[in-house]
Amino acid sequence: MPRYRELPFLERLVGRALRAADPPVCGGRVSTDLPADAGEPARPWPVCTYERLGGAPAVKQKLDTGRIQVAVWGATQSEAHQQAEYARRVLHEMEGTVQDNGAAWVSAVEDETGLTRADDPVTGRDRYVFSVLVYASMYAPAA
């Protein structure tokens, strides 16, 4: 009977990439949840959130495909758009890299949905949303 293999935690890989970019996406204000004070007028913007919204079943417990949705709010439409496009570029740059302190290999990143303007009625801020498919497996360097 085959042994179950642990797969990379794709949300962690995405979050680390967005925060580690130079400069960090949204000045490092990147999280899986919108901050509690997001509706406050003094809240610093821009802000980026990301979450896994499914994907494809793991292929023989070796390759995971995760659908990652990213949302970026900005003080202006231009700021939200610029930071969302930057976040998309950062995620595409993960392709072909070893991540998670050498534990994961990101073999591909593909656009699933393009940048979509989706202003947020709760915060009253401009927002752009997009999603990518991230393909990753546990990395085992050749012996």
pTM assigned to the model: 0.89
**Could you give the domains of the chain?**
10-137 (3.30.2000.10)
**Across 9-36, average pLDDT:** 93
pLDDT tens-digit series, residues 38-61: 767 677 889 999 999 987 666 666
Residues 6+ apart with CB under 8 A from 62: 5, 137, 138
Exposure string over 94-131, b if 16+ CB within 10 A, otherwise e: beeeebbeeebbbeebeeeeebeeeebeebebbbbbbb
Q: Could you read off the pLDDT of 82-91 as tens digits, one per residue?
A: 999 999 999 9
